[in-house]
Structure formats: structure tokens, C-alpha cells
Structure 1
Amino acid sequence: MTLSCVNQLHQRLPGSPQFQFLKDGHALGLGWDNSSQYQVAAVWREDVGYYWCEVWIEHRVIKSKRMWIDMHRVPVRNVSLETQPAGGHVAEGQTLVLACLVSGGTGDINFLWYRGALGVKLETKTQRSLSAKFEIPAVRESDANQYYCSADNGYGPRLSGLVSVTVTVPVSRPVLTLRAPGAPALVGDTVELHCEAQTGSPPILYRFYHDGVTLGNSSAPSGGGVSFNLSLTAEHSGNYSCEADNGVGAQRSEVVPFSVTAPREDRAELTTAVVVEGLFGLLGLLTAVLLICCWCKRKMGQPSARDSVR
């Protein structure tokens, strides 16, 4: 409701006039103001009474005529239910707020909240406002359902539409398992890396790591675990881990150490190569020693210049 203090002569008032609105002799709002209008946000039954305005101009006060304003109760209308977080998507453990709103209605309004299409009553609040809130402090997976509310100010309840609420369960810490064809794992083998979180709403994205470097990722649209195959080389020895993430929060597995062993033939070839290399080294050393000995003998066998003179 808007109250306006109007100059009936439609003449511009001189100076800087100040306005004040009164009801039954009591000033409304903060009293004197330079606005010629006063807004009543919500009208209630006790707002019935005599209203008038006053103008302070050129050191004098001009009063308007008193006007009787009556109120008629208005039924509630346009009942709606809103969720916080918006959209009805909430993570397990978070707070869910169900706000019941009406666009109009007077007097005390009785708000009720219901769960499910069959209407299990959750809460009742009576207050003089156009909205009321009901909170579920720590949402559980079982709270995923449809909700609606009703509002009634004596003219019969008005219902909101159904609003769906989905609850996302965070993933638990995944477990990484490495499955090799045999023990020990050999170069050339294919090892299976299996990562699985026991709880968590799908879809779940899994990532695999070797010494902190990403190997790859795979998604589980319906939940459960996933596997990643790896063809082994000697460089694949190290620490492995995996990560599970469903958008609520990522969880990393414990680190699993893994070693890769070279096959026997590879080790034999390596041993032969080492032996041959050692033999070549020894042969080179012996050759050098023989050359030094020959040089020394030749040196000792040559007569000196003094001996030649004699």
C-alpha cells in the first residue's frame, strides 16, 4: 500500500518541503522526510485506522484531511516452494532449506511442509509473513525425495508444486589393487590396476598415478570400480595410487609400491655383456702392462753413451 501526500492545486511547493505520514496520531516510519510518498510493505488487519499527512514548509505545518482506511482479509495465493541450495541438489551432510512463499495474503498464515507424494508432514509454522523456512540441518541419502508445502490464512490451504531433492554422497577413500600375471612381475607383462570406492554417488571419475604422474583416467557411470591395464617396462617400478571424484570431493588411495623384474634371458644377456666387458677391460690392462715391460727391457738393454766411449 502506498500513501501519497498530494498538493491538490498541483503547484510546486516552495523551498524544500518535508513530509510526514501519521496513523491515529502516530508518525509512520522515521518521521519527517523529503519524500511525498510512504510505502507500507505488507498490510495487516491492525493497519485499519485514520491516516493523514503533514507538510513542513516555510516554518509552518500544513495538515491534510484525515482518511479512514479499512482492510479486508485477502486469501493466500501463488504458493511456491524453493530450496537452498538452489535446484534441490545437496551433498550429504549439508543443510537443506525449504522456503515456502506466497505472493499475497493477510493475517497470520499457517505454513506446513510435506515429504513425498503421499504427504508425510514434517513441520508446521504460524507467522505473520509471506514466507517461512524449514531446515534439515544435516541431509542424509534417505532425504532424497519430493517435497511440497501449503499455506492457509483461514480461507483453506493452498498447495505448492512438488520439488525434487537429490542428495549426493561423497566418495569414500578408494582402494587400489595391482594384479599381475605372476610374481614377480616381469618386463612385458600386463598388469591390471583396479581402483574402487566403496561408497559415493555415481558417476565417479577415477584417475591413476605412477610416482605422482597421471597414467590415465576412467569413469564409472553407475558407480563401482574401474580397471586400467599397463604393459610393463623396467621404468614402471615405483609407487602407484588412484583417485576417486564425483564432484563433491576427491579422495586419494594409499600408495602401493610395485617393482618390475627383468626376465632371466635378459638378465643372462646382461651378465654376459658385463663379463665380456670385464674381459675386454682386463685384456686391455694386460696389453698395457706388456707394452710397458717391453719398453723397460729395451731401455735397459741399450748401452749408455759413456759405456760406448770406453
Structure 2
Amino acid sequence: MGSCCGGRGGRRTRCCSPPRSGTTAAATTARAEGYWSSFKTKPNEVVVHGELGWGAAGLGGTAAGLGARQWGHRPPLGTVSPELFSVPELSVEGSREPPEGSALTLVCVTRSSPLRPPVTLRHLFYRDGVVVGGPQGSPRHQLRALALRDSGSYACEARAEAAKVQKRSNPVTITVRRVPVAGVTLTAQPPGGQVAEGEGLVLSCTAGGGTRPLVFSWYREGQDQPLAQGSRYELPAARPEDGGHYLCRATDGVTAANSSLLQVTVVVPVAGATVRVAGTEAAVMEALGTEGERLNLSCAVRVGTAPVAFRWLRDGEEVGEGPLLALGPLGQGHVGSYQCVATNRLGARRAFQERSPPVALSVTPWGQGQRRGRALAGGLSVSLLVLVAACAALGWHLWRRRHPGG
């Protein structure tokens, strides 16, 4: 039987001497200030129960190696030997200075003691002392779509809740890098930035990179002041004067980038088509020509965005293209109802058309025109003779009145 050890504060402590050298099997029980620990020993083997058990590390792994100063005394608080698990290390899969928007994974690495029974660990992850993940069974924690606010000092903690043991890693600093604004793109609806007068147009701006939130501003070429702010710019009823080159600018307050220029075209549909006889200013509803002569008809529109195309119809059948229709030498085959059709386009699939009022063309036969000319000339000669005779009679009368004695 071993000797007794003195206690503190007048309390007696019953303790046991170390087992004798060479003992093949022994059981020892110690009680020191209410602390109990029991183990069985074999040569070169120590089994310790409890995380805060008696130290065996550095003592050769046998009960015989326990020193007299340790035997029969409660081990110092915090002594871990052998440990349930090691102090965790925080591993970072990826760069510790990742760019904004990227992802990385944190791994809480621990090692279990082969001398201790397996334990179930729970893991927590901290940023600047605040829990950002866990408690969870998995030792991995993924950070997705990193932002500047995710920068900080990270640590992980492993807990063996059944044994009431928890250990925290050393901190690891992660700094999220700002991404410059880039890839600014301007799109339009309708596509291409072409719109008819009075219709709506919407411009949209996006950025492929940059620290959020981004501020978008809209500019028109040649103007220093922005038209508006926001990722969309809308023209609810486009006017011809709204046409021009537009761009958007994106900024995160530190860096900025511009989109490419987009040309906005406001197409005015053709309207007010009229036909004139070439060389005259007034629009006509009728035209008269003489057989064998030449006659030119011209077509114009009151409004319409260029280019404007013209086609000519006679009695509904196409007879020519262009703003001028040359007819001649005239014949009876030219008689009919003429119209011009003016067309302009909005893109490749949309067209605007306007027809002029019809113009009736009559052609007088050449012979009939000659007879009419001779008859007209004869009539003018007779009238001229009568006029001359009347003037002569009037002059004679006036002369007689002035010279009564002549």
C-alpha cells in the first residue's frame, strides 16, 4: 500500500504510490481535490481518459515514467496529453487576395490523436470575430461572389461538444481586390437604334466588371452634361431631333469606363407625295400633250427621311423608277392615269409608302393640233384687221372735229 499525501486546507488526500516497475497489469485510482482519473497500464502503454488527463507525453508512454511530483496531484488545468485533436489550422483554397466577384474555400484542418477514441467535431468560421459559417460538420466553408466587405481576418474553430473541448485557429487575413469598371455595353430596343417618328426607343447599359454598386450616366455626342442617370434611357416618342450618337458611362466612384457610340436614327415616314409637270411649280391633276412632243413628270414628297425611292404607275402598272418620268415622243399609248409611289425604310424589314393623287394625261393628235393652229392664226388675222379699221375710223373722226373747215 502506498503512502498518504498531505492535503491543502486541512483536507487529507488519499493517494497511491506509482505501480512497481515491471508490473504487467495494475489498477490505480487517485483522488485529488475531487478530481478522478483511472487507467490500466501495460508495458509501454498508457490510456488516459479525459482531455485534461495526466500527462504521458514526454514520459516514455508508460506509467512507470510518471514523476513523483506529478503522481497523486491534479494535473495543471489546460494540460492536453494526448489531445483529442490538434489546434486547427485555417487553410485557404485560392488566393488570399482574390478579385471581387470570385470565390474561395476555407478549410479547417485538424488532426485526431491515434491514442484517443474518435470524436465528432463541429466547425465554425469567423470574420473579424463574427461567425460567418457553422456550426457545421463539414470542415469546409465556401465564399461565393466575393465583395469588398468580405475582406477581413478569418479564423476557424473546432468543437468536440461531447467532451466540451473547443480550439480556434490562428487568424488568416483575406483582402478582396477591387475590380476596375470594364466591358461597358450599350444596347437598344428596337435593335440597331432605328425607330420611326413618334415611337418609343429604350437604351440599356451593362458592365462586365466593376465594384458594385455602379452608377450609369447617359451622354449625347458633343455634350458635356449627362442627359440622365440609370441603367436605362428611354425616348417615349422619338423626334427627328433625337437622332445622333449616344454613349453610357459606368463608374464605381473610383474607376470609370465608357461604352461604344451608338447611332440613333429617327426615321420620318414619307408623306405628301405630289406630281408636277417638269419646269412648273404647281402640282397638277391633269396634263395635256401633243402627239410627237415630249413631256416630263416629276414626283416629290413633303416630308420623309432620305433615302426616298420613287416608282411610277400608269393605270396601276409600273412604268418607271426615280423622281423623274420622261415621256416621249407622245402617242396615244401614253394616255392614262399616272401616279408616283414614294418609299422610305426603317431597317431592312419595315417600309413606309405614300402614293400621289392620280394625274390624267391626254394626248392631242398631231394633225388636229396643226388645224387648230391654222384656225387660230386665221382668227387672229381677221380680228387684227377689224381692230385696225376701227382705230383708223376713230382717228379720222377726231381729226375732223379739230379741223371743221378742212
Common topology (TM > 0.5):
yes
1:31-65 superposed Cα distances (whole Å, 9 cap, x missing partner): xxxxxxx995x554677899xxxxxxxxxxxxxxx
Where 2:208 maps in the other structure, the secondary structure is coil
Using the alignment, how far apart are the partners of 1:152 and 1:86 within structure 2?
A: 25
Higher-helix-fraction structure: 1
Paired residue type of 1:207:
R
Paired residue type of 1:252:
E
Where 2:237 maps in the other structure, the secondary structure is coil
Equivalent of 1:230, from 320, 327, 334?
Answer: 327
- 1:109–1:250: structure 2 CA closer, same or farther, 3 Å change rule? closer
Q: 5+ residue gaps in structure 2?
A: 1-101, 110-131, 136-141, 155-171, 281-285, 372-406
- 1:195–1:43: structure 2 CA closer, same or farther, 3 Å change rule? farther
Preserved contact between residue 209 and residue 216 of structure 1 (Cα < 8 Å): yes
Where 2:265 maps in the other structure, the secondary structure is strand
* Equivalent residue number for residue 211 of structure 2: 106
Equivalent of 2:304, from 175, 185, 200?
Answer: 200
Mapped pair 1:146 → 2:245: yes
User: 70-79 or 233-242, which moves further after superposition?
Assistant: 70-79
**TM-score, structure 2 as length reference:** 0.44
Preserved contact between residue 174 and residue 251 of structure 1 (Cα < 8 Å): no
Using the alignment, how far apart are the partners of 2:267 and 2:173 within structure 1?
A: 53
* Equivalent residue number for residue 260 of structure 1: 362
Deviation at 1:101, TM superposition (A): 1.9
1:253-309 superposed Cα distances (whole Å, 9 cap, x missing partner): 24424242442626999xxxxxxxxxxxxxxxxxxxxxxxxxxxxxxxxxxxxxxxx
* Equivalent residue number for residue 339 of structure 2: 241
Mapped pair 1:91 → 2:91: no
Q: How does 1:145-184 map to 2 (within 5 A)?
A: 145-178=244-277, 184=288
- 1:81–1:212: structure 2 CA closer, same or farther, 3 Å change rule? same
Q: How does 1:11-26 map to 2 (within 5 A)?
A: 24=133
Using the alignment, how far apart are the partners of 2:308 and 2:207 within structure 1?
A: 40
Paired residue type of 1:123:
A
Where 1:93 maps in the other structure, the secondary structure is coil
Deviation at 1:70, TM superposition (A): 6.3
Paired residue type of 1:116:
E
Where 1:102 maps in the other structure, the secondary structure is strand
Preserved contact between residue 79 and residue 150 of structure 1 (Cα < 8 Å): no
1:190-239 superposed Cα distances (whole Å, 9 cap, x missing partner): 22211101111222111010011111101xxxxxxx22111222132222
- 1:72–1:183: structure 2 CA closer, same or farther, 3 Å change rule? closer
Q: 5+ residue gaps in structure 1?
A: 9-22, 27-37, 51-67, 126-131, 219-225, 270-310
Paired residue type of 2:262:
V
Equivalent of 2:229, from 101, 124, 130?
Answer: 124
Preserved contact between residue 184 and residue 250 of structure 2 (Cα < 8 Å): no
